[in-house]
Structure 1
Amino acid sequence: MNVHTTEWTMISDISPESAYRTTGSGEAVWLLSWLPDRLLTREQALAGMELDEILSDPHGVHDRDVQSEATKRADAVGIDWEQAVILLSKRILARLRQHSGEDDAAAGEPVTTRRTFRSRRISMHPSGPPRVFG
């Protein structure tokens, strides 16, 4: 897996999806960019990021071992792997629509420093919490 984690974020080398730590009910909880309405533990968020990476690799489509790993991680997050495929596919389509109508560079921000999460822009800082704009 290519998930890079810090105390506040989880990002992938092969997927634009991410996870962010926040606080809920006074405790640290995690949110996945592709499953923003579900509060998760750190372990669940990591499983969700790994699930995204597994499903992002077209070579594993017909591999039973890969499907088994996807099922385990989906179970850890509390969803069916088929539901994850649908949610991630919708995110891909939304990004394609967004990029066809709006160029990030034209907005004055480098693509590498801009991520959209729950209708807010977040600048990622590996050494601390993400900065939220908007």
Structure 2
Amino acid sequence: MTIHATDRIMTSDRSPEYAYRAGGGDRWRLTWLPQSLSRAQALAGMRLDELLSDPDVVHDAVTVDRIAEHAATVGIRYEQAVIVLWRRMENRSRRRPRAHDGPDAAEGVAGYGPAPRSLHLLG
């Protein structure tokens, strides 16, 4: 599990969710939460997402405590994070074409919407 962070974006090698700097100052957004966060909160949200994305550790008591701590730092209950992230995963899986859907199905992959402005700046 690795989180790659710059002064503009945080990504994970385990999850498609990411955090990006939103405007000036210390304002960040997670792709899976609507509210603005500090950099520390965004990093906690990324860690929370990574832990919830690893089925091998979610039943470990120490990991569950870490999940709850990261959720508290973000300002949500961990149960809320589980639901939101599961819904996003479910929506992504519905948009992906299956191999037997034919050549026109690939058009649906682009349905993720435009990247945040900050990603366009990374070029």
TM-score (norm 2): 0.82
Say which SS state the counterpart of residue 60 (structure 1) adopts.
coil
Percent same amino acid at aligned positions? Answer: 43
Which structure 2 residue ranges, 5 or more long, are not aligned?
99-104
Q: Could you tell me which amino acid in structure 2 is paired with residue 19 of structure 1?
A: A
Change beyond 3 A, Cα 1:59–1:21:
same
Shift of 1:27: 3.0
Say which SS state the counterpart of residue 11 (structure 1) adopts.
strand
Select the structure with the greater relative contact order (CA < 8 A; seq sep ≥ 6): 1
More helix by share: 2
- Greater than 4 Å deviation, 4+ residue runs: 104-107
**Cα deviation 1:69-102 (Å, max 9, x = unaligned):** 0000000000001110000000000101111385
For these two proteins, the number of residue pairs brought into alignment is 115
Say which SS state the counterpart of residue 19 (structure 2) adopts.
strand
TM-score (norm 1): 0.76
Say which SS state the counterpart of residue 4 (structure 1) adopts.
strand
The equivalent residue for 1:19 is 19
Q: Could you tell me which amino acid in structure 1 is paired with residue 119 of structure 2?
A: P
More strand by share: 1
- CA-based RMSD: 2.5
Distance 2:109 2:35 in 1: 33
Change beyond 3 A, Cα 1:94–1:7:
same
Contact persistence 2:95–2:109 (CA under 8 A): no
Say which SS state the counterpart of residue 87 (structure 2) adopts.
helix
Which structure 1 residue ranges, 5 or more long, are not aligned?
108-114
